[in-house]
A and B are shown apart, each in its own frame.
Chain A
Amino acid sequence: MIIFDRVSVQYDGAATPVLRDVDVHVAEGELCLVVGQTGTGKSTLLRTVNGLVPHFTGGTVTGRVLVDGRDTREHRPRDLADVVGFVGQDPRAGVVAEIVEDELAFGMEWLGLPPDVMRRRVEETLDLLGLADVRRRAITTLSGGQRQRVAIGAALIAHPRILVLDEPTSALDPQAAEDVLAALHRLVHDLGTTVLLAEHRLERVVQYADHIVHLPGSGSAVAGEPAAIMETAPVAPPVVELGRLAGWSPLPLSVRDARRAAAPLRERLVELEPARVPHVASAAADDVWRARPRSRGRATPVHATVDDGPAPPHAPARPAHGTRSRLAGGARSRLARLLRRRTRHAAGSLPGDETLCSISELAVQYGETVALRDVSLDVRAGEIVAVMGRNGAGKSSLLAAAVGMVTPAAGQIRTGGIDPRNNDPATVIRVAGLVPQDPADLLYADSTGAECLTADRDAGVPEGSCRALLHELAPDITDGRHPRDLSEGQRLALALAVVLVARPPLVLLDEPTRGLDYAAKQRLAIIIRRLAADGHAVVLATHDVELVAELATRVVVVADGELVADGPTADVVVGSPVFAPQVAKILAPQSWLTVSEVEAALHSPSAPTP
């Protein structure tokens, strides 16, 4: 169906080709997954399929791409529109119409489908993607997930034989992502559509793939069976990592397969306990963090010293001998709470125990819509709080309220002892820093160096502070780079440095892992742990259950503007069909969250030998 015949792509002005001699065949009716780190040419590969590369982007393409027998050299994207449906990375960018229905119909009009067919297809697509109740709504008023589904609907509505999607689920909450993937699955199985898909969140899609094209970064491409590729791929979802750790063969790709293979592992783990001490940064790194000059006259919480003091008191205390029967669950969490309170009481004199943000009975209203209602939340130093929930549930509003970006309709907010709404922004950034969903919003200078200098001035700290901080977070960014040319991960690091330079004790991140590959996510996780160990409190709004499992000490679930759950990560996510990470699903009813926990337990001296 799609034939890449020794395809190389080199953009104008680039020193090396993005793709080199790619020789891949995608058969009809396959779901083919393209994996690889940021910048390895995933998007370029996808864009050659409908001729956007090179007809639209320029650059030199050698070799040929045959799509349903048509050569992309002779066919422009618009001439391939009846064969290839394309969904770009940013669902906002491709919107051409005002309302959902017209957006869906746009492509069909140009393909000349008869009006009655169009009408029927629109109705079918609205149902398929669950958009029927927003059909007359303006697209600008939709949530991110709804927008993404509209974009996918607009591409698949004309029933193209090939569907190409560039990270279709990166902006979606777990449930919406499931819906979208289920729809794709149905297309592949029932209609024989060929799907080519790039995705960072392998844990969501790898089980559906018939074929994987791996771009290792050298420009070449390796294609093969998912299990074979996953055996050695450096990027792998937790289910695969667990499989590798346990030595399962064949390597399971879905939670279901892994569960069936996991019985012996569960047996071995039954006597063990996850050691859930927050990861402590190395002393050297910690020194750099603490050595930063403080701005004058500000009440900074004295940062908890992690390397020479006791572990921060908010590590969710776990009972030493947990019984694993379901009956004991309630008693256990009560015990956990008691223990935690006692710990906190005992550690009451520790400076890290201070409440950095206190929200009580908060309500936020936009026009007629109530975004948040009766929300109370305290965030203490050293905590990593994950705010989870559907797209549009009010996560972003909660974060924005904490820094005074929205006016509460009711309730009280004290961030760092002040009301962020009634204080000057320059004061607020010293108590709380928010990195917005699109970190590029924060950046407006022409170069990274200039950006850092502006940030120093904004925060009133000595010149060079931001630069030094950035070097810590992402050492490979040079001063002259334009912020727009940075990769997603580098841009996030820069935005984070800009925010952190004012040394706010409370750091809020809105969807930080969107568009990040596994390596960038790992770096972010290290940074966040270090911040928490340093006495900051970190709040992240995220859909990424794996990141939450690995990182968060506490999870807050927001639904329909209300807090529906608040507790230690394991208590909240284990057993939740939506928020549980893969490892928890595989090893349930035991409460393991990450592969590294399992690994550490297996290697501990108390582990029984298999």
Chain B
Amino acid sequence: MNSTMGDLRLPRALHAGAWWLWALGLATAASRTTNPVLLLLLIAAAAYVVAARRGSEPWSRSFVAFLKLGLLVLGIRVGIHMLFVSSPGGSTVLFRLPELTLPEWAAGIKVGGPVTLEATMLALYDGLRLAAILACIGAANALADARRLLRSVPGALYEVGVALVVAMTFAPRLVEDAGRIRRAHQLRGRRLRGVRLISRIGKPVLEGSLERSLDLAAAMDSRGFGRAAAIHPRYRRSSGPLVLTGLIGICIGMYGLLNGGVASGVGPVGLGVGLVLAVSGFVLGGRGSLRTRYRPDPWRLPEWLVVGSGAVVAASFIVAAVRGDPGMDVMVVPLIVPGIPLLAAAGALAALLPAWASPPPPRMATEAPS
């Protein structure tokens, strides 16, 4: 009991994979409904968890950016609907935009004309769903270090993961380089702005980064990156196709789960088979490898709880949608105030669990660059 409490209370960074699985659960749930109340509930739950459990790293502040992006998507969607899409049969005309008369061959496309309340609401609900999915991704991004996630990929994918991590580390240096070269221009008596700046800085930055990536490759090679001798070729040969088929199975399964139109058996079965294949492929690929990991992130009770909470959210929404609970898909003709399906609402509240069921993030002494 004590060690369980210790797991939950002692500050440490939760496994990045757990946060992403939780966020994927929320996103899956959001994709199964257009009910604005449920969607807002999901966004609120994600925001609460982010506020409670985010660390002090630079990316921890990215949640708000994702919310803003969601708002932008929402705005664009509503705007385009107003302009181009003919109304789904509603009759409550809000206002009329000047209509463009299009030639015969462009029949079916509308530019301007009457804007109905129903069409606007439909666009709003759809946009809100996208915004909610974006918010879920934003939450994962703010809570988990993408680098650590890539570093904890299964052994068979480790090389790819490391390559991606290195690429991510590399990218910020472009910005640094650009700043240095811009200052150097000033030293030569110029103050550049706008397009001229980009055209003057672009080339040296790219040249420099190309040169540096060669150096980097040499350095990685000298430090043993890609020493594959440890893996038996037989394992290597069999693991590749297994992982690939497994991933395809997972894709089919996910599609089945997310899209209500596919026969209900396809989703779970595809996902299950795919997972088994992929995992066995990874296990085979990782077996016999001499490579080890420095301080791997542990996967303990809090990780299970967080993933479980995401799974509960996703499951409750999927069940509610499959059962056809009233209020999961909101009607716009006739326009009614949407009801709240109890099961899904309760499920959405389960998304809050990580705010208590995960250890607080470690508070690092933030040290400024010297």
Contacts and interface: CB of A to CB of B under 8 A. Distances in A.
Interface of A: 50, 52, 55-56, 76-82, 84-86, 88, 90, 92-98, 101-102, 105-115, 118-119, 122, 134, 136-137, 140-143, 154-155, 366-369, 392, 403, 405, 424-426, 428-429, 433-434, 436, 438, 441-442, 444, 454-455, 458-459, 484, 498-499, 502
Given A52-B221, A97-B166, A444-B200, 5 more contacts: A78-B222, A425-B185, A436-B183, A441-B184, A444-B181
A172 to B, nearest CB: 15
B220 A96 contact: yes
B294 A369 contact: no
A200 to B, nearest CB: 19
A122 B292 CA distance: 14
Nearest to B296: A115
A300 to B, nearest CB: 16
A134 B366 CA distance: 11
A442 B230 contact: no
Interface stretch (B41-49, B96-104, B187-195, B270-278): B187-195
A498 B218 CA distance: 33
B212 interface: yes
Interface string B275-296: 0000000000000011111111
A555 B17 CA distance: 55
Contact of A141 (B191, B215, B291, B369): B369
B261 interface: no
A111 B293 CA distance: 10
B207 A484 contact: yes
A157 to B, nearest CB: 10
Given A115-B293, A140-B176, A441-B181, A81 B187 contact: no
Contact of A97 (B169, B181, B212, B296): B169
A137 B365 CA distance: 10
A77 B222 contact: yes
A223 to B, nearest CB: 24
B292 A113 contact: yes
Contact of B294 (A81, A109, A141, A484): A109
Contacts of B189: 425-426, 428-429, 458-459, 502
Top 3 nearest A-B pairs by Cβ distance? A94-B219, A81-B224, A112-B290
A423 B66 CA distance: 40
Most chain A beta-carbon neighbours within 10 Å: one of B172, B186, B290 = B186
A96, A106, A122, A459 interface centre (most CB from chain B within 10 Å)? A96
Contacts of A101: 294-295
B1 to A, nearest CB: 28
B229 to A, nearest CB: 7
Contacts of A436: 180, 183-184, 187
Contacts of A79: 227, 229
A137 B367 contact: yes
A115 B295 contact: yes
Contact of B224 (A111, A426, A455, A484): A111
A225 B229 CA distance: 40
B292 A107 contact: no
A218 B294 CA distance: 46
Contact of A78 (B190, B221, B291): B221
A95 B169 CA distance: 9
A96 B219 contact: yes
B333 interface: no
B292 A112 contact: yes
Nearest to A118: B294
Contacts of B295: 101, 105, 115, 118-119
B292 A499 contact: no
Contacts of A502: 189
- Chain B contact residues (Cβ within 8 angstroms of A): what range? 35 or more
Nearest to B295: A119
A88 B293 contact: no
B355 interface: no
Contacts of B364: 136
B368 interface: yes
Contact of B367 (A110, A141, A484): A141
A176 to B, nearest CB: 13
Nearest to A86: B222
B365 to A, nearest CB: 9
B292 A109 contact: yes
A444 B221 CA distance: 30
Nearest to B365: A136
Contacts of A93: 212, 215-216, 219
A107 B225 CA distance: 7
A31 to B, nearest CB: 20
Interface string B137-151: 000000000010001
B162 to A, nearest CB: 8
A86 B222 CA distance: 6
Contacts of A112: 230, 289-292
A122 B293 CA distance: 13
Given A96-B166, A140-B172, A141-B370, A458 B190 contact: yes
B6 interface: no
B294 A96 contact: no
B221 to A, nearest CB: 4
Contacts of B224: 78, 81-82, 107, 110-111
12 contacts: A77-B222, A82-B224, A94-B216, A94-B218, A96-B219, A97-B166, A155-B223, A367-B369, A405-B187, A425-B185, A442-B188, A444-B181
B165 interface: yes
Interface in B165-211: 165-166, 169, 172-173, 176, 180-181, 183-191, 200, 203-204, 207, 211
* B204, B218, B223, B291 pick with most chain A CB within 10 angstroms: B223
A110 B291 contact: yes
A85 to B, nearest CB: 8
Contacts of A369: 368-370
Contacts of B190: 425-426, 458
A142 B368 CA distance: 10
A385 B289 CA distance: 58
Nearest to A122: B294
B226 interface: yes
Contact of A56 (B172, B218, B223, B292): B218
A103 to B, nearest CB: 10
A455 B188 contact: yes
Given A79-B229, A96-B220, A122-B294, A442 B184 contact: yes
B101 to A, nearest CB: 54
Contacts of A76: 221
A403 to B, nearest CB: 7
Contact of A366 (B222, B227, B368): B368
A80 to B, nearest CB: 8
B187 A499 contact: yes
A35 to B, nearest CB: 23
A105 B225 CA distance: 12
B165 A110 contact: no
A438 B296 CA distance: 38
